[in-house]
Amino acid sequence: MSETRKPSFSRRDFLRGAGALGASGALLGATMGQARGHEGRHGGHGDQHGMGGGRMSGGHSMGAGSGNTTEGNVDTSRFDPMKFLRDFDYGETRREGGRTLREWEITAEDVEIEVAPGLIYPAWAYNGQVPGPTLRATEGDRLRIAFKNNSSHPHTIHFHGFHPANMDGVFEVVGPGQEFVYEFDAEPAGMHLYHCHSSPLRKHIEKGLYGAFVIDPKEGRPAADEMVLVMNGFDTNFDAANEVYAINTAAFHYQKNPIEIKKGELIRAYVVNVLEFDFINSIHLHANFFDYYPTGTRNPRNGKIEPSEFTDTKMFAQGERGIMEFRYDFPGMFMFHAHVSEFAELGWMSFFDVKSST
């Protein structure tokens, strides 16, 4: 990375202070003032790029303000965040020993992913995608995950949930070319995650080895339009800070391609924060409130699945996740984004396009 360089004239730097003392800039002040007026007449160049949100209710690629968005579009043939959004992988399912067995084959691979249009990041990925596939099962199912490491580095899969020590994906490091089969019961019901637990841990997570892991309660949840929101970010210049933030990897993707939902329909969003470097992340829903189920688990006091909070903004620590349920009663375009404004402006900015069911 190149240093910041700019023309500077140290001898004249003195001026900046001196001029600020208020010496009357009669000569230049007048001249420059005229220039300002002149330019001001055809100002507003930015408006060509900025989108007047209110005026363009149906428009594509709406910006949060003047030009605060990415340039170009990501190649969705490599990874389509819109497809990933509602893509739940239930695995190869069969009955075994009187109960449901779900089997998955997961590989770890070194792949290049597009984290913003034209911005290629050398990722480590489960099944070649970041986030990895959303694995979904029902409470009590037997899960068998055959893991093959096709990457050049040792990896594991560490699932959040209940399982024996040797299934924890910590001590049984799977070297390049090696395989390991994880087998355990799906417990407890809730919204979980899985990620690599090889050392150095932060590197293995920030490189993209993570995914959502949903365990439905036996009794199920009410019918809804379900989606997965993985809050992530990428350190593209390896300075231990994220350059871009996103929901499901591609910065600003759901801003440029709003998520269509139906007016009045129950929406259930499985949300997880897998951000590295930053301690917290958050999600804020516009013009609405949501029922929030922390970790999507049961209330320990009464064993019922009930929300802990009714709010429009929720903060997430690293690895924290939960389920949001809401309905939109008005059609139109609604923002949802990190209320950490910096993350929002660096890509964690999305839209719901609420359609009237006609």
What residues between 72 and 91 interact with other proteins by CB under 8 A? 72
223 in contact with other proteins (CB under 8 A): no
Query: In the complex, what is the shortest distance from the CB of residue 349 to other proteins, in angstroms, rounded to a whole number?
Result: 9
Q: For the CB of residue 172, give the shortest distance to other proteins in the complex, in Å.
A: 29
Nearer to other proteins, 67 or 140 (CB): 67
Kindly write out the interface string for residues 310-349 of this chain, putting x where it contacts other proteins by CB under 8 A and - elsewhere. Answer: --------------------------------x--xxx--
**Whole-angstrom distance, CA of residue 4 vs CA of residue 114:** 26
Q: Are strands 88-89 and 244-247 parallel, antiparallel or unpaired?
A: unpaired
What does residue 46 show for φ and ψ, rounded to 5 degrees?
-60, -25
Partner residues linked to 351 by β-bridges? 335
Residue 55 contacts other proteins per CB under 8 A? no
> Under the criterion CB under 8 A, does residue 46 sit at the interface with other proteins?
yes
User: For other proteins, how many residues bind (rule: CB under 8 A)?
Assistant: 72
Which residues, numbered 119-148, are part of the site for other proteins (CB under 8 A)?
A: 119-121
The sign of the CA dihedral 247, 249, 251, 256 is negative
Residue 70 sits in the site that holds other proteins (CB under 8 A): yes
What phi and psi, each to the nearest 5 degrees, are found at residue 105? -115, 120
How far is CA 259 from each of CA 138, 158, 214, 320, 356, rounded to the nearest angstrom?
27, 30, 21, 23, 14
**Apex CA 259: angle with CA 345 and CA 213, to 5°?**
90
Question: Interface residues for other proteins in 256-295 (CB under 8 A)?
Answer: none
298: three-class secondary structure by DSSP: coil
Give the interface segment with other proteins, choosing from 191-199, 235-243, 260-268, 325-333 (CB under 8 A): 235-243
Is-contact 354 287, C-beta < 8 A? no
Tell whether residue 53 is a contact of other proteins (CB under 8 A): no
- Contact present, 157 and 179 (Cβ < 8 Å): no
Alpha helices in the chain (DSSP H): 10-20, 26-41, 81-85, 201-206, 253-256, 341-345
Between 25 and 175, name the residue whose CB sits nearer to other proteins. 25
Q: Interaction with other proteins in 24-43: which residues (CB under 8 A)?
A: 24-29, 31-32, 34-36, 38-40, 42-43
Q: Which residue has the tokens 């804020």?
A: 284
Interaction of residue 243 with other proteins, rule CB under 8 A? yes
Indicate which single residue of 53, 66, 183, 277 sits in contact with other proteins (rule: CB under 8 A): 66
Q: Which of 1, 54, 165, 222 binds other proteins (CB under 8 A)?
A: 1
Tell me if residue 37 falls in helix, strand or coil.
helix
Per CB under 8 A, the list member of 62, 85, 111, 116 interacting with other proteins is 116
d(CA 197, CA 200): 8
Which of the residues 2 through 21 are near other proteins (CB under 8 A)?
2-16, 18-21
Q: Nearest distance from residue 60's CB to other proteins, in Å?
A: 14
